[in-house]
């Protein structure tokens, strides 16, 4: 990856509706702030194609608990390695300091999977949410967590820290989950995690999930998966095009879904009862997350 643009394999062969942005004057400010606080972002580590657009808009998704993941999913470019239980205890305060300096009113925190930790990282995530709220009282926090092993204790600890949105990505349809995600991830486990988050705080917490399209799923499978998410009580949904982040070892793109199909699926998701839906080729789980949340609030749906 270069300093100014995330490289996606086969860029020259992409359809015309897949386009990466160019950096503006805010881009280096965001880059320098992140580097100055020694913070990792999923934007960079996962080679997100929207990196330049989001950083140029003054936003980024901060990645906690290091920059190496204990899982190896075939769609993800984050480095796989066990940190052997090592945790940076200064991370919550460094993140809170950066958010305060940045002046963010809405921040998305995500994490690498930490199967080497008994609580899967819930304590550090919770400490970071509390630190942000203490330093920046008007800032809303969305936490994009792993499945946390489906552990109600870990999920509860994170929710008690008070994130406005609890997100966990189902990623793909039931049939493809074993080949797309790490063997420790599981379709039903993800649904249980989302159900547990809603059960613990049914009114006070907004839940969210995301699906990638173009992995080989059928339209019927996508609709079935959206129904499963609604049954789990999920409020917000994003649908986006899967883009292969590299060469061998990553899942192939089976199909580029046209924009009009994303529009149709987004409309169907709203009919199923999701409070807020973002659906389009370049949409990612954290893409314009603040706008999706605010839009759902304005509708009185969450």
Q: What is the pLDDT of residues 67-107, one digit of tens each?
A: 899 999 999 988 999 999 999 999 999 999 999 988 888 88
pLDDT tens per residue across span 149-179 = 999 999 999 999 999 999 999 999 999 999 9
Band (289; pLDDT cuts 50, 70, 90): confident
The per-residue pLDDT for 43 is 67
Least reliable range by pLDDT among 41-50, 103-112, 200-209: 41-50
**95 and 125 in contact (C-beta within 8 Å)?**
no
**106 and 140 in contact (C-beta within 8 Å)?**
yes
11-298 architecture in CATH?
Alpha-Beta Barrel (3.20)
Task: Please state, in angstroms and as integers, the Cα–Cα distance from residue 49 to each residue in 35, 72, 187, following that order.
Answer: 20, 20, 26
**64 and 91 in contact (C-beta within 8 Å)?**
yes
Q: For residue 10, is pLDDT > 60?
A: no
pLDDT tens per residue across span 230-288 = 999 999 999 999 999 888 889 999 999 999 999 999 999 999 999 999 999 989 888 88
């Amino acid at each position: 990856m270069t300093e100014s643009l995330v490289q996606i394999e086969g860029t020259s062969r992409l359809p015309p509706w897949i386009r990466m942005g160019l950096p503006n004057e805010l881009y280096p400010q965001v880059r320098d702030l992140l580097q100055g606080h020694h913070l990792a972002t999923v934007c960079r580590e996962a080679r997100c194609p929207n990196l330049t657009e989001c950083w140029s808009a003054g936003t980024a998704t901060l990645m906690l608990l290091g920059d190496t993941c204990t899982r190896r999913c075939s769609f993800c470019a984050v480095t796989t390695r066990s940190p052997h239980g090592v945790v940076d205890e200064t991370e919550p305060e460094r993140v809170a300091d950066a958010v305060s300096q940045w002046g963010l009113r809405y921040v998305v925190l995500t994490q690498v999977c930490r199967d080497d930790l008994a609580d899967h990282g819930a304590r550090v995530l919770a400490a970071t949410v509390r630190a942000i709220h203490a330093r920046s009282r008007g800032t809303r926090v969305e936490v994009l967590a792993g499945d946390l092993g489906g552990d109600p204790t870990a999920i509860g600890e994170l929710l008690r820290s008070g994130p406005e949105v609890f997100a966990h990505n189902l990623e793909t349809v039931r049939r493809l989950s074993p080949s797309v995600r790490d063997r420790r991830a599981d379709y039903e486990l993800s649904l249980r995690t989302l159900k547990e988050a809603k059960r613990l705080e049914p009114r006070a917490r907004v839940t969210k999930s995301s699906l990638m399209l173009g992995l080989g799923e059928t339209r019927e499978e996508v609709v079935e998966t959206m129904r499963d998410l609604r049954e789990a009580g999920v409020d917000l949904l994003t649908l986006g095009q899967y883009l292969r982040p590299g060469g061998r070892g990553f899942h192939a793109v089976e199909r580029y879904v046209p924009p009009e199909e994303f529009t149709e699926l987004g409309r169907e998701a709203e009919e199923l009862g999701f409070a807020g839906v973002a659906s389009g080729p370049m949409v990612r789980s954290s893409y314009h997350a603040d706008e999706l949340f605010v839009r759902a609030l304005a509708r009185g749906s969450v």
